Structure 1
């Protein structure tokens, strides 16, 4: 008899819980929570985009610096070779 009572209580709580989870108030809470999560995602994506743009600018500047240094080193190598031939 005790097991039947526990089963009935579990069924009652399960049914009540299901009613609460599917109620209009609960759906409003879910909608507001989802909306807040979407706003947070948009904010994070905006920040990521800004950081990525900054990193792209830094990368382009670094690449230009290395290209300039390589060109200077090549010019010095050509000058040294010309001085040795004379």
Structure 2
């Protein structure tokens, strides 16, 4: 009497199950408990960002100090080399 293709019934059942699961999932994701979890995750992300920014500022300050020291060393070295070259030319 009915000529039902088992493959089509299987696909229809999978679709219905997916629809039901999606509906339940949407309810779970919008629940008050889920929103609390989302808020805690976002708060942890903000704390991590703040910590990273503080570390980056410390590194930046330290690298500025290192750069100034390196420039001072190079300037002293240039002066020493110039003085050494003057002494060599005076000896000749």
TM-score tier by shorter-chain length is 0.7 to 0.9
The match for 1:34 is 42
Residues 1:75 and 1:4: Cα distance change in structure 2 (over 3 Å): same
Note if 1:77 corresponds to 2:68. Answer: no
Match of 1:14 among 7, 11, 22: 22
Provide the alpha-carbon RMSD of the alignment.
1.4
Deviation at 1:2, TM superposition (A): 4.0
Give the unaligned 5+ runs of structure 1: none
Aligned length: 84
Structure 2 alignment gaps of length 5 or more: 1-8
Output the TM-score relative to the length of structure 2. 0.80
* TM-score computed with the length of structure 1 as normaliser: 0.85
